[in-house]
Amino acid sequence: MFKITSKRELAPRITEMRVHAPRVAASARPGQFVIVRVDEEGERIPLTICDYDAEQGWVTIVTQTVGVSSAKINALEVGDSFVDFAGPLGRPSDLLDLPEEELKRTKVLFVAGGVGTAPVYPQAKWLCEHGVRPDVIIGARTKELFTYVDEMSRVADVYLATDDGSAGFHGLVTALIEDLIERRGHRYDRCVVIGPMIMMKFAAQTTRRLELPTVVSLNALMVDGTGMCGACRVSVGGETRFTCVDGPEFDAHQVDFDEAMRRQNMYRDNPKTDPSRHKCECGVH
């Protein structure tokens, strides 16, 4: 059993939990995820690892309530436990593979939409710990939906964007990307985008035009997390890849987003299927 040691509401319907999982914490790396079950009858839910501490043995997850299973997770309280907390799964961020000198010369832009901010945080934190302070765009419909702004500001230079203009830049994250690069003169070597599938699609189109290498962390539907079921398959550069074992990060300019969104939408109208069955709960907010 994996006990919940802390819980807090980050925004309406968005909850952060710290879970005692020493073996997962000891092996976790930025960009990976876990699969959890609330009880023996529960559905297997993939969730991004948002933070971890190997010495203290805890892992942080963030869940947005979008269906039955995610609601069951967010109904848990401190002292309750998950029956399963499997991981870490997936491939870590490829930033971790860069030689130290190259890493220090690399200027990274992260773009986080909705609860995509949570999985961006461990990557930005890791970069800061290695002497690199990235830029991070955080986008939301309105300021009340922002998460991890204070935490992110300690490890990165943060730029806020809201659809309604209630905080920061008034407009979509794609417009802020253009503003930073084309009007403010910022230079980046690579971009990492995490958020709703539609946002990642248009962010990828924007960075392709700007000739900025970009990766996205896909939130494809998953079942087993080992590549056996094939539920999370996506097309990348014309080839079939599996998000759970080949990803979750892929070259944004090679991903077939339209196909990926069609596969996600197949489950929306099925009352027996919870649309929260995806990696970071950031694709259906």
pLDDT tens by residue, the chain, 285 residues:
899 999 999 988 899 999 999 999 999 999 999 999 998 888 888 888 999 999 999 999 999 888 888 899 999 999 999 999 988 998 999 999 999 999 999 999 999 998 889 899 999 999 999 999 999 999 999 999 999 999 999 999 999 999 999 999 999 999 999 999 999 999 999 999 999 889 999 999 999 999 999 999 987 666 666 666 767 788 888 888 888 788 789 999 999 888 888 877 765 554 444 444 344 333 332
CB of 156 closer than 8 Å to CB of 176: no
> Per CATH, the architecture of 94-265 is what?
3-Layer(aba) Sandwich (3.40)
Q: Where in the chain is the domain with CATH 2.40.30.10?
A: 2-89
Residue 275: the pLDDT is: 41
Side chain identity at 268, as an amino acid letter?
Answer: R
Q: Where in the chain is the domain with CATH 3.40.50.80?
A: 94-265
Residue 221: the pLDDT is: 65
Geometric angle at alpha carbon 167, from 252 and 165, rounded to 5°: 80
* Exposure letters 111-146 (e unless 16+ CB within 10 A, then b): bbbbbbbbbbbbbbbbbeeeebebbbbbbbeeeebb
Residue 77: the pLDDT is: 96
Q: Which CATH number fits domain 2-89: 3.30.1280.10, 3.30.479.30, 2.40.30.10, 3.80.10.10?
A: 2.40.30.10
Is pTM beyond 0.75? Reply is: yes
Number of H helices, E strands in the chain: 9, 17
Q: 64 has which bridge partners? A: 14
Residue 167: the pLDDT is: 92
Number of Cα atoms under 13 Å in the Cβ half of residue 148 = 30
Residue 102: the pLDDT is: 94
Find tokens 């309604």 and name the residue.
Answer: 164
Residue 266: the pLDDT is: 63
Residue 284: the pLDDT is: 30
